Structure 1
């Protein structure tokens, strides 16, 4: 709707994610190089996990926006990683599921909305970037960590987006 109603030329989508990589700590920023829907499975028809008909399995973020995000984070001294973010319709809170997502997709973080946005942007040929701040470790303590660190994680993400917008102009 935003793309059609407001003729959006670029989209920057932010929020929080669970860490899949042991290198990620609470409030670290993650810039998606690409996104995948980790809970889509039509492998019975010969497609890889995450494959969406007529779209493929991975959605690549805009290189221009990704480079601006990295510059903005460096300007602010904020730690970040770049990599694959996996999207699914569940809050990942088990080491077993976390390991499966890493094994199947090489993802460094997981969340619940990004690949949906990527699908829409891809359909409309609108460049996009998904930025996440780590709120938990996607393990058995995830629900506790998420509640405790949501605000600080969101603040890190917000400060980065403000700087990124400055760098766009």
Structure 2
């Protein structure tokens, strides 16, 4: 894991011209602060979910919370791309830290993601690997570069603190399990080199990679993914979600001009 630097932002020298952008969170709590920043929106129900359509600047935003887990998040990403025609996906929310250098309130942007609960090792494949697929899915360097710029230029205002936003880059592991013990935490570090763990990002990455759609997954650190994870997660969910909402808004302003 490394901290984003001014040089990292040079990854993005061209601002993409997206007309439709999808924004996903896993839980209602993760998109409510974002919707409050865009009071003009319409809702459309589809596939047991609700998609909020927001006209913003020269583009249309589609916002939804997928519900928890890899299946629901994959369904939501697929709907945004295949039905609504989204040309880029931004997934924001909260995650548990695995790397000891990540502190609550930091933002970790995924350089690559994996599914930690996929196991067909009985057939000689590494953990997390699916035949005809990839063990790790890499995110968009352009979108990650824009996120780095946002952290540098708007960090203090976005976070509402003197310290500003501390953006770091690293590996995110996803699985259908809320990690709550130190043993599983260490296993994720040893097996995948993961810096944070959550339950949706890698499945969104697989969908976007399959459709050739650029994506960015970033997480505000809300808990330490150890034995006290269930306590700190509840305590810091709201504040972390607000940080993510402000961060997404700043990213959109950078993308759309």
2:204 paired residue number: 117
How far, CA to CA, are the matches of 1:17 and 1:24 in structure 2? 11
2:190 paired residue number: 103
- Tell which has more relative contact order, 1 or 2 (C-alpha 8 A, sep 6+): 1
Deviation, structure 1 residue 51: 0.3
1:165 paired residue number: 252
What TM-score results when the alignment is normalised by the length of structure 2? 0.65
Deviation, structure 1 residue 52: 1.6
Aligned with residue 54 of structure 1, among 132, 143, 152: 132
How far, CA to CA, are the matches of 1:6 and 1:27 in structure 2? 32
Deviation, structure 1 residue 76: 2.2
How far, CA to CA, are the matches of 1:138 and 1:145 in structure 2? 9
1:10 paired residue number: 88
Count of residue correspondences: 169
1:3-152 paired onto structure 2 within 5 Å: 3-77=81-155, 78-152=165-239
How far, CA to CA, are the matches of 2:242 and 2:221 in structure 1? 11
How far, CA to CA, are the matches of 1:75 and 1:92 in structure 2? 34
Q: Which moved more, 1:16-25 or 1:49-58?
A: 49-58
Q: Which moved more, 1:39-48 or 1:106-115?
A: 39-48
SS of the residue 1:68 aligns to: helix
What TM-score results when the alignment is normalised by the length of structure 1? 0.98
Please report the RMSD computed on the Cα atoms of aligned residues, expressed in angstroms: 0.8
Deviation, structure 1 residue 75: 1.4
How far, CA to CA, are the matches of 1:90 and 1:130 in structure 2? 18
Larger radius of gyration: 2
How far, CA to CA, are the matches of 2:154 and 2:126 in structure 1? 39
